[in-house]
Amino acid sequence: NTFGFRTVPETERQGLVNAVFSSVASRYDLMNDLMSGGLHRLWKADFVSMIGAPKTGRAFQLLDVAGGTGDIAIRYAEASGPNATAVLCDISPEMLAEGQTKVAAKGLDHRIRLTQGNAEALPFPNGTFDAYTIAFGIRNVTHIEQALAEAHRILKIGGRFLCLEFSECQVPLLDRLYDFHSFEIIPRLGAMTAGSAEPYRYLVESIRRFPNQDAFADMIRGAGFERVSVRNLTGGIAAIHSGWKI
Ligand code: SAM
């Protein structure tokens, strides 16, 4: 008996997603390390280096959407100058609570503000931010076009959109290994550590449903972004999409 995510009506999807993240919030970081074999750390380091945050005292404002437990915002704050700040926005109070604890433990409260919000209706005025990031988040959003339109709206002219997401593995054999990992290993790891395989079946299914590199790049262009580019990570298991508001 799977989550049957494919057949869930659109109006109920976000509720299911929220249930998944509220139930895994306290184990989320551990699960990430376990299921990706630590790979997500390398991908995130790569991703954050593309933000181009100033190392000097110049002001810079990042919006990290679906920021969860803070991996992107914290790495960014640690790698940038004192006036580079971030707003972390996530729909899940439980994930935000984990994030707040981590931000405080790193002494970054004055650089990172956490707030609840939906990627499809961001609670910020037009033209506010220098960069927008979303890591392993957009896949969970019901109306992706709407989230992209919101990203475009809240960016300043000259601002950059960056998305880190699972994508289509483009290396023969690695793709077979990845399938085995997705369908055999991940649900078992989920059952062992979280007591239930369902959230992880959802995870795998949502990855398979997400548009591939080219299709997603087209959607980003469709939202009005320019100079859209894609960078594959680990043979395309994940990819970084970039676009500029010009
Ligand atoms: N960015 C973090 C990372 O890379 O570790 C967390 C990614 S986690 C897989 C996905 C996050 O998306 C969860 O924290 C979830 O609450 C959030 N989320 C799901 N739907 C959302 C929405 N519509 N708007 C904002 N955040 C959402």
Q: Is 212 annotated as a binding residue?
A: no
pLDDT in tens, 147-160: 999 999 999 999 99
For residue 26, the domain's CATH number is 3.40.50.150
CB 44 within 8 A of CB 70: no
What's the pTM?
0.95
Give the domain extent around 93. Answer: 5-244
Name every residue whose Cβ is closer than 8 Å to that of residue 194 and which is 6 or more positions away in sequence: 23, 24, 27, 31, 200
- In the reported structure, the alpha carbon of residue 192 is separated from the centroid of ligand 1 by a whole-number distance in angstroms of 23
Number of domains comprising the chain: 1
Pocket lined around ligand 1, Cβ cut-off 6 Å: 14, 17, 21, 65-68, 71-72, 90-92, 95, 118-120, 135-137, 140-141
Dihedral sign, CA of 206, 207, 210, 216? positive
- In the reported structure, the alpha carbon of residue 18 is separated from the centroid of ligand 1 by a whole-number distance in angstroms of 9
Per-residue pLDDT of the chain (246 residues; tens, 9 = 90+): 344 555 677 888 888 889 888 888 988 898 889 889 899 999 999 999 999 999 999 999 999 999 999 999 999 999 999 999 999 999 999 999 999 999 999 999 999 999 999 999 999 999 999 999 999 999 999 999 999 999 999 999 999 999 999 999 999 999 999 999 998 888 888 888 767 777 777 788 889 899 999 999 999 999 999 999 999 999 999 999 999 999
Q: Is 118 annotated as a binding residue?
A: yes
CB 13 within 8 A of CB 4: no
